[in-house]
Amino acid sequence: MKNYFISFIIFIIVFLCSFEKVYAEYQINYSMIIDNFEENDNEYILSTPTSIDKDQQGNYYIADLANNRILKLDCYMNKIGEIQNLDMPITVFIDAQQNILICELGTHKVVKFSPQFIRLTEWGGKGEGVGQFNIPRSITQDSRGNYFVSDELNHRIQKFDINGNYLEMHGEYGDENGQFKVQQGLSMDSQDRLYVADTYNNRIQIFDTYPTWSHLRSFGRYGVYQPFNYFSFQSEIFNHPRNVYVNKVTGNICVTDSLNNRIMVYGNYENGIPFQQSQNGYLSMNLPTDSLLKDNNLVLALDSYNRIIQYRTQLNNTNLFSQYGLGSSMENRFCGPQSIAVDSLTGSVYITDSFNHRIKKYTANGEYQEKYGGIGGSTGIGTLLNYFIFPKQVTVDSTGKLFVADFGNQRIVSKDRESNQFYLEVGSSNLGMPWGVAVDRNGLIYVSDWQDGKIKVFQDGNRIREWGGIGSAEGELNCPSELKIGQYNRQDIIAVADTKNNRIQIFTLTGELVSSIGMPTQNPLENYETEYSQGKLLLPYSMSFDRNGNLFVMDTSHKCMRIFTVNGQWLGSYGYMSSSEGNFFSPMGCDFDEQNNLWVVDGVLQRALKFEVVNQ
């Protein structure tokens, strides 16, 4: 198999949309949700776990982001308590006094609880000023009781006293020593050295914090590890390291190398940080979000299969581990939903439950009906025609035929409305990494291919034309994702989510450029708030035409949806980063039904939302 497991960037970029724009053209009303079911009191099923820490008694704490809670587990991973009703907790940290510190995305605050779960204090709030945050991403504590907070989109580290009073800050946007690009995880060793996961610079920076702040050294550089290519392994490369953890007893360092789908362990600072071990879930780890190194040098990790992985050996890349918190493969749960399509005749809703390697079908009222594909989780993949590997876009043509871009199997498959049997439409000899699929009124199939950045058109399984290619110039594409067909000036057109170019490109069905919405930006994270407020796009994955011919765009990394005319006029935005009703963390796929209701799937919050769109 090729390296299909390193390209899923949707869960590692944590960005922010700050307000809901009011405009006259539309009234958008949130109306329904399809999400994960409630669990029994004596069980726990994780939904986007993002952080793990341990107290002095050996209990573990998990930030269960999409479930809006912190779980407390005993040393055997049994649930013994929880803090509920949070707004997207991204990080949990246990300080020297055994208090529980939580970084909350929805409020941009640090919240502090006692060991008995009593809320003690909070500080922060959204902004660029002293003591404010633009995503408080991680927190740690020095030996004097001071807290250090990773202020992610302000590209700085802020220091507070034990009561949350501001003391000082360090850092700015850049790639020099002491500068950061979307830094995320923090950890402190026993000598008050601060370790920073400088995520977009693909390195770990180390600072002395007392008596003065100074940069000591960095390690790591960008590189892609391909688990099926033995020679691609290099201990010094990272691909978006999200977190770093230092064991205070041994000083050994654990790095969550997210886009390389692995955990890397190194020796302590005094010994020169030598490589010790690598763990990748026996080639099945998927976008790990955090990790912890026990005193015996065994790894605990969280990944995007909604599980805790506990290793029983220090040997590299073995299957000697246990898993906890699973359950996302159950019929009424999601794990990484990424696309949604509505059958215009029956109103049936199809959702790609991508990390469970399956398609799920619901009624127009959100009632679960059936599934197609894998049994769920890392074991649910398959190469037979009724199975999938990370399915991406789904679409339904005018006859009710369902089409699936089967990303990992490099193919497009379809099934008739009344059948459960899938058939091959386009095979792997023509496709590399198919993400998007659309079908025109003549039955021609359009496919977006991440591997070569092209749009490919097929008739009866044969390629009849193509356009695009990797690049940022007009008509070129970089990771083209979902496709949608609409009309403009009485002509059929196709919209392409040109994801890594931060734009939507619109073409005729023969590949002539009609218009472009958004533009490639060299450093979109440096001026994040400015670009958001100007209606620019950041990693859009999908869009859909409403009955007026306007485009609703899922501006995935701005955590909102935008509305544009085909010629690029910005009409407004809706939603912001929150787990509250009608808002988003990672809006991915979208589709309109016949009543002009807009359906949206949120990949990180693992739910589908329905909106009534009324033209004013």
Judgement on whether residues 312 and 414 belong to the same structural domain of the protein: no
Look up residue 279 and give its amino acid: Q
Q: What is the rounded distance in angstroms from the CA atom of residue 468 to the CA atom of residue 219?
A: 38
Look up residue 143 and give its amino acid: S
Grade residue 380 by pLDDT with cuts at 50, 70 and 90: low
Instruction: Using alpha carbons, select from 102, 146, 152 the residue that is nearest to residue 123.
Output: 102
Question: Is 435 inside any structural domain?
Answer: yes
DSSP conformational letter for 286: -
CA 469 to each of CA 80, 437, 474, 493, 578: distance values in angstroms, whole numbers, following the listed order: 53, 17, 11, 19, 36
CB 72 within 8 A of CB 64: no
Judgement on whether residues 140 and 226 belong to the same structural domain of the protein: yes
Question: Is 129 inside any structural domain?
Answer: yes
pLDDT digits (tens, 9 = 90+) for 124-173: 999 999 999 999 999 999 999 999 999 999 999 999 999 999 999 999 99
Judgement on whether residues 341 and 234 belong to the same structural domain of the protein: no
CB 443 within 8 A of CB 449: no
Strands, E assignment, 349-461: 349-353, 358-362, 368-373, 391-396, 402-406, 411-415, 423-426, 434-439, 445-449, 454-459
How many Cβ atoms sit within 10 Å of the Cβ of residue 167? 13
Structure token pair of residue 519 = 């533009």
Judgement on whether residues 402 and 453 belong to the same structural domain of the protein: yes
Judgement on whether residues 262 and 397 belong to the same structural domain of the protein: no
Instruction: Using alpha carbons, select from 243, 303, 324 the residue that is nearest to residue 48.
Output: 303
Judgement on whether residues 361 and 311 belong to the same structural domain of the protein: no
Domain coverage including residue 253:
37-324
Judgement on whether residues 312 and 405 belong to the same structural domain of the protein: no
Mean pLDDT value of segment 55-62:
97
CATH number where 466 lies: 2.120.10.30
Judgement on whether residues 145 and 274 belong to the same structural domain of the protein: yes
Cβ-based neighbours of 271, under 8 Å, separated by 6 or more: none
Question: Is 315 inside any structural domain?
Answer: yes
Order of strands, sheet of 411-415, starting from the edge strand that comes earlier in the sequence: 391-396, 402-406, 411-415, 423-426
Residue 14 predicted with pLDDT over 60? no
Judgement on whether residues 87 and 123 belong to the same structural domain of the protein: yes
Q: How many domains does the chain have?
A: 2
Count the helices and strands in the chain (H runs, E runs).
1, 50
pLDDT at 17: 34
% of the chain beyond a pLDDT of 70? 94
pLDDT at 564: 96
SS (H, E, C) 59-111: CEEEEEHHHCEEEEECCCCCEEEEECCCCCEEEEEECCCCCEEEEECCCCEEE
pLDDT digits (tens, 9 = 90+) for 507-552: 999 999 999 999 887 778 888 888 888 899 999 999 999 999 999 9
pLDDT digits (tens, 9 = 90+) for 66-90: 999 999 999 999 999 999 999 999 9
CB 225 within 8 A of CB 167: no
Question: Is 18 inside any structural domain?
Answer: no
Mean pLDDT value of segment 314-329:
86
Look up residue 35 and give its amino acid: D
Question: Is 96 inside any structural domain?
Answer: yes
Question: Is 511 inside any structural domain?
Answer: yes
Question: Is 341 inside any structural domain?
Answer: yes
Question: Is 16 inside any structural domain?
Answer: no
Grade residue 339 by pLDDT with cuts at 50, 70 and 90: very high
pLDDT at 527: 81
The SS3 of residue 501 is helix
Burial 539-557 (b: 16+ CB within 10 A, else e): bbbbbbbbeeebbbbbbbb
Judgement on whether residues 392 and 419 belong to the same structural domain of the protein: yes
Judgement on whether residues 416 and 561 belong to the same structural domain of the protein: yes
Decide the pairing of beta strands 221-222 and 237-238: parallel
Mean pLDDT value of segment 292-305:
95
